[in-house]
Amino acid sequence: MAQFDEKISKDQFEPAIIDASTSERISKPSLNYWQDAWLRVRKNKGAIVSLVVIGILIIMALIGPSLSKFEFDKQNTKHANLPPRIEALENISWLPFDGTRTLKNGNVVNPYEQKQIEEYYWFGTDALGRDQFSRVWKGMQISLYIAFLAAFIDMVIGVAFGAISGYFGGRIDNIMQRIIEVLSGIPNLVIVILMIIVLKPGIISITVALTITGWVSMARVVRAQVLKLKNQEFVLASRTLGASHAKIIFKHLIPNLAGVIIINTMFTIPNAIFFEAFLSFIGLGLQEPLASLGTLIDEGFKSMIAFPYQMLVPAIIISVIMIAFNMIADGLRDALDPKMRD
Amino acid sequence: METRKKLLEIKNLKQYFNVGKPNEVRAVDGISFDIYEGETLGLVGESGCGKSTTGRTIIRLYDATDGEVLYDGVNVHGKKSKEELKAFNHKMQMIFQDPYASLNPRMKVSDVIAEGIDIHGLAKTKEDRMNKVYELLETVGLNKEHANRYPHEFSGGQRQRIGIARALAVDPDFIIADEPISALDVSIQAQVVNLMKKLQKEKGLTYLFIAHDLSMVKYISDRIGVMYFGKLVELAPADELYNNPKHPYTQSLLSAIPLPDPISERSRKRKTYDPKMHNYQADESVELREVSPGHFVLCSEKEFEQYKK
């Protein structure tokens, strides 16, 4: 106990300095919304892997057709239905790239040797002897075109329609919402079939069909968000300062909607890609000799038992695209949603 | 009293919602009062009685159903050209209730504060603009470094001060404070109210202070108006209203204030107010009457005689 009795001299103390300016200081580094979101996207491994996968697929779609020695629409019936064969990988027995295929009775044959073909078809050839490798990446280009088209339509028509409808309200809103209901009431497939009557089946009729209906869900989401935001006090404050409608929409509403818009777009993209593939699969989409992942799957599907690789490769690629886009969308939603802020 | 200049005259202001429909709401039902230059007029009343709607209608966030708002003798409602509106926005500003909703989360504090400067073109160069922002930040007791931060990094009291700085940016003469302290912690309330008092002294501002905290209203206001269901029932200088309430609703409201004294608190009687107790006849005209100099009460002719005694 003796140690507690020790006298502590006054000069050991120093008065604390209470300074208002230091108490107002914030030590945390300043991050804006996007830096903050990127920190959280980075934590999501699935989204990052998907981002890389999509990046690789986009690069392959752009350079893939020219990597192969064969044109995507060059027919060579002598080389029809060849299995995949890749130069260095053909000697690794467990990889399916050795140019052999198994017949129904279990015999393994090598059509390249039977027909004495020197060329290497990396993903094999189809029933008309066209190089599957360049056809797959050509099809991928179509899917990417659809993806960007859908994103563009969503961001431009959907956002503008929803923002105007929600912001001005009243009779304008009423009329615009009835238009949306009419549009969403007609099934997409019916619109495409009607388009085909007027136009030829192909990329243009799909583009028109997507333009007519693709933005409806985005317009609804944006309208709902605008309705929520437009009576927030920061918008009222801007109005009392005398800001114009355009300024309020572009400076206050759209930046606050950015997260929702991006998330919605990312979820629309895989749907649009699948829509195109589906139309091509049932024969309403792209026509020969153009290739899309849908038509490739359709052709491969006809000889699925004999030549499974013809369907497998495009099917795997479209699945990978869809999964990757969905995972990115998921990661972005977690990152951009302010309710998840930690 | 009469020698002071009237800055704002509100005449028979009405604000109805859903007019003509079964769910018509008469949020503000014909109120009239004046605000003198340099004073603080407190506006109190229970939730939903139309205090905030009155404030928002005065500043044109809603289009008034009927009535006039004269600012310096000029009617500010009705169709206006863009220039007239800008001049009006320049003079009248508003401080909002919720400090968490009143700042755009995607804008830096400097942009929030400079919004009015940009709209009205008050700064010629970027440097000039930033200097004005720094000056405003210092006026409300914040630092220069805060200009590059985002609103979510601040506390409620700090945000409310940013909101005040935004309103001050256009150098207004008249500020409507719509429950500026009700969302804040009690210790911070004093900070914000004292800041507002200091600014009033320095810049000669006029306030319409909307609140439901009676003790805070008494502290800041020169005169107090009491609202009940869209009507102004009593308007008097602050001390007069507290010491000598005439209208039964005001008496009821004042009797609800708890006292920090257990002995008197035990004997405090809560008066209730029932609008039926007036028993107004159809032919009686109920209006604001001046019972003593500067003290107005909503009453009928008969009650007026009683109140005058």
Contacts of B145 in chain A (CB under 8 A): 25-26
- How does DSSP classify residue A125? B
Whether A242 and B148 lie within 8 Å, measured CB to CB: no
Residues in contact with B118: Cβ distance below 8 Å, sequence separation at least 6, in sequence order: B129
The mean pLDDT value for B83-90 works out to 84
Report CA-CA distances (Å) from A19 to B143, B155, B288. 13, 18, 51
Work out the minimum CA distance from B253 to partner chain A, whole angstroms: 29
pTM, to two decimals: 0.80
Contacts of A242 in chain B (CB under 8 A): 85-86, 89-90, 116, 119-120
- How does DSSP classify residue A93? T
Contacts of B163 in chain A (CB under 8 A): 237
Locate the chain B residue with the closest alpha carbon to A259: B106
Contacts of A20 in chain B (CB under 8 A): 141
pLDDT digits (tens, 9 = 90+) for A91-148: 766 677 676 777 777 777 777 777 777 777 777 777 777 888 888 888 888 888 888 8
Residues in contact with B188: Cβ distance below 8 Å, sequence separation at least 6, in sequence order: B155, B156, B157, B160, B181
Taking the C-alpha atoms of residue A6 and residue A173, their distance in angstroms, rounded to an integer, is 80
Which of A24, A234, A247 is nearest residue B142 as measured by Cβ atoms? A24
Whether B141 and A20 lie within 8 Å, measured CB to CB: yes
Whether B94 and A236 lie within 8 Å, measured CB to CB: yes
Work out the minimum CA distance from B84 to partner chain A, whole angstroms: 11
Contacts of B119 in chain A (CB under 8 A): 241-243, 247
What is the SS3 assignment for A284?
A: coil
Whether B107 and A251 lie within 8 Å, measured CB to CB: yes
Cβ of residue A169 closer than 8 Å to a chain B Cβ = no
pLDDT range class, residue B210, cuts 50, 70, 90: very high
**What per-residue confidence (pLDDT) applies to B65?**
86
Report CA-CA distances (Å) from A169 to A81, A155, A156, A175. 60, 21, 20, 10
Taking the C-alpha atoms of residue B249 and residue B214, their distance in angstroms, rounded to an integer, is 14
Whether A242 and B89 lie within 8 Å, measured CB to CB: yes
Which of B101, B119, B154 is nearest residue A243 as measured by Cβ atoms? B119
Instruction: Tell me the sheet residues that pair with B70.
Output: B9, B75
pLDDT range class, residue B3, cuts 50, 70, 90: low
Taking the C-alpha atoms of residue B222 and residue A315, their distance in angstroms, rounded to an integer, is 78
Which of B61, B86, B107 is nearest residue A239 as measured by Cβ atoms? B61
Cβ of residue A245 closer than 8 Å to a chain B Cβ = no
**What per-residue confidence (pLDDT) applies to A223?**
92
**What per-residue confidence (pLDDT) applies to B212?**
81
Q: How many beta-carbon pairs under 8 angstroms link A with B?
A: 86
What is the SS3 assignment for A102?
A: strand
Work out the minimum CA distance from B156 to partner chain A, whole angstroms: 12
Work out the minimum CA distance from B213 to partner chain A, whole angstroms: 21
Best of B53, B115, B142, B152 to mutate (most A CBs within 10 Å, chain A): B115
- Count Cβ atoms below 10 Å from residue A177 Cβ, excluding itself: 15
Taking the C-alpha atoms of residue B227 and residue B234, their distance in angstroms, rounded to an integer, is 7
pLDDT digits (tens, 9 = 90+) for B22-80: 888 888 888 888 899 889 999 998 888 888 899 989 888 888 888 888 888 888 887 77
Cβ of residue A21 closer than 8 Å to a chain B Cβ = yes
| Nearest-5° Cα angle at B225, B221 to B228 | 140
Taking the C-alpha atoms of residue B151 and residue A109, their distance in angstroms, rounded to an integer, is 71
Work out the minimum CA distance from B51 to partner chain A, whole angstroms: 16
Contacts of A249 in chain B (CB under 8 A): none
Whether B146 and A255 lie within 8 Å, measured CB to CB: no
Residues in contact with A256: Cβ distance below 8 Å, sequence separation at least 6, in sequence order: A225, A229, B104, B105, B106
**What per-residue confidence (pLDDT) applies to A338?**
55
pLDDT digits (tens, 9 = 90+) for B236-267: 998 888 888 888 898 888 888 888 888 888 88
pLDDT range class, residue B290, cuts 50, 70, 90: confident
In B213-272, the residues whose Cβ lies within 8 Å of chain A are: none
Work out the minimum CA distance from B62 to partner chain A, whole angstroms: 10
- Quick one: three-class SS letters along chain B? CCCCCEEEEEEEEEEEECCCCCCCEEEEEEEEEEEECCCEEEEECCCCCCHHHHHHHHCCCCCCCEEEEEECCEECCCCCCHHHHHHHHHHEEEECCCCCCCCCCCCCHHHHHHHHHHHCCCCCCHHHHHHHHHHHHHHCCCCHHHHHCCHHHCCHHHHHHHHHHHHHCCCCCEEEEECCCCCCCHHHHHHHHHHHHHHHHHHCCEEEEECCCHHHHHHHCCEEEEEECCEEEEEEEHHHHHHCCCCHHHHHHHHCCCCCCHHHHHHCCCCCCCHHHHCCCCCCCCEEEEEECCEEEEECHHHHHHHHC
Low-confidence ranges of chain A (pLDDT < 50): 340-342
Residue B141 in tokens? 């007791």
- Determine what percent of chain B is predicted with pLDDT higher than 70: 99
- How does DSSP classify residue A131? B
Closest CA to B28 of B50, B45, B46: B50
In this predicted complex, what is the ipTM?
0.86
Closest CA to B230 of B66, B76, B39: B66
- Determine what percent of chain B is predicted with pLDDT higher than 90: 11
Distance of CA B35 to the CA centre of its chain: 11
Cβ of residue B297 closer than 8 Å to a chain A Cβ = no
**Angle between the N-to-C axes of helices A132-153 and A254-281, in degrees from 0 to 180, rounded to the nearest 10:** 140
What does pLDDT average to over chain B?
A: 86
Cβ of residue A240 closer than 8 Å to a chain B Cβ = yes
**What per-residue confidence (pLDDT) applies to B1?**
47
Residue A150 in tokens? 């859908």
**What per-residue confidence (pLDDT) applies to A20?**
62
Whether A237 and B163 lie within 8 Å, measured CB to CB: yes
What is the SS3 assignment for A128?
A: coil
Contacts of B108 in chain A (CB under 8 A): 32
